[in-house]
Amino acid sequence: MRNLSFWLLLILVFVIPWENAVTFEGLGTISRFLGLFLFVAWFTCTLFSCRVRRPHLFHVFVGAFVLWNAAGLFWSVDPDATIKRAMTFIQLGMLTFIIWDLNRTAPAIRSVLQAYIFGACVSVGSIIYNFLLNQEVGFGRFAAAGFDPNDIGVIIAIGIPLAWYLAFVQPGRHRALAWLNYAYIPLAVFGVLLTASRDASLALIPSIFFMLWSLRKLDLSRRVAVITALLCSAWLIYSIVPAYSLERLASTTNEVTQGNLNSRTLIWEAGLRVYHDSPLWGAGGGAYPYVVQPVLGREVVAHNSFLSVLVECGIIGLCLFLGVLLSALRSANRHDLMQRAMWLAVIAVIVLGASALTWEYRKPLWLFMTLVVASSSILLSENREESGMEQHMLEGGVS
């Protein structure tokens, strides 16, 4: 039953990057449907085995954040939205614990990362398909089926450091997977540029730094070969991406220094203004559109996860949310150099994405925060076992 649960988890992770493409009436996206099956299988397995992995400090912050969102119903200015948001966070909280419980080995973690890459390939293919058919979602912008260009841009950008890392660590018998992961990188960059998302394009920067840094592990000839391949890919991508998409991306600096980031700064100013009405506990989960409507004249989401949490959950909720992220960051720093750089790149991509998107309730954020903590815990367990064996051998030698 545990094997079945893990396979269901792999399928769920595979689906997450393209979940909006398939929805069920009354239930939602296909990932929610699969998540229900995963929960039933995992709960049944846990019930019969009576074994569950001991929670991490990370889960204390997750649980507290989930409970605080649920408690917000008592003071929410938009109870319907708060109930919906609380239910979402309860499901995400359960998902984080299931991911934690099922990923107890390094190969399991790599399998989950690979499943995400496979799923991201589907979305990249969908973007390129829409580009070939000239099916724009906005002037000069393309997206995967069911997605906003900014959202899908960040989703596929997350996969770039994962693909690069997996390509490096694939053993010889999995060389085909390594080449697939290498191929994903230029295709994903191409997909991000086709979305013409400024936020997603900025989120490429940590991945580029990670890839360039990791080249130091190669000998000179392989380093030259990889750099040449990257430069050729960059030239090819630049020559294919529509000029108007590149022009939009090129305006990022002016938009940041002189513009309003597509009205985002106005939305943020409105959020900060209404935040002072309830600074400690907030307006209630999901209530951001409701509270800024009198200021802006329309309901709109925050387009910044941290401000969204601050306004909806107050300073207490923001501290709990930051506790989740900082726990993951602390876990990332416990890895060896290559893994640490990969996880830090992933976290940086997510934080950059969440700084211009309302992502505090999106699955990719909670998936990867959990995986980095699970991966760190595995390393700590292995180190303890090695230390115990060495101590046992020393004691045996003394006796």
Per-residue pLDDT, 388: 53
Per-residue pLDDT, 316: 97
Closest CA to 36 of 82, 94, 83, 99: 94
Query: DSSP letters of 87-113?
Result: HHHHHHHHHHHHHHHH--SHHHHHHHH
Domain ranges of the chain: 1-52, 58-398
Six-digit token string for 283: 């307006």
pLDDT along the chain (399 residues), means of 10: 90 96 82 91 85 90 97 95 96 96 94 97 96 87 93 96 89 80 93 92 92 81 77 81 77 55 84 92 95 92 95 97 96 92 97 94 96 92 58 51
Per-residue pLDDT, 271: 93
Q: Facing residues of 29 across strands?
A: 23
Per-residue pLDDT, 99: 96
Contact 196, 174 (CB under 8 A): no
Per-residue pLDDT, 259: 46
Q: Which helix (H) or strand (E) holds 23?
A: strand 23-24
Q: Facing residues of 187 across strands?
A: none
Q: Determine how many CB atoms are found less than 10 A away from the CB of residue 137.
A: 16
Q: Is 143 helix (H, G, I), strand (E, B) or coil?
A: coil
Cα(98)–Cα(39) distance, rounded to whole angstroms? 8
Tell the burial category of 171 from Cβ atoms under 10 Å away from its Cβ (0-12, 13-18, 19+): exposed
Determine what percent of the chain falls in helix, strand and coil, rounding each to the nearest 5: 80, 0, 20
Q: How many residues does the chain have?
A: 399
Cα(7)–Cα(396) distance, rounded to whole angstroms? 42
Cut 0.85: pTM above it: yes
Closest CA to 361 of 332, 321, 331, 328: 321
Angle between helices 2-15 and 106-132 (to 10 degrees): 30
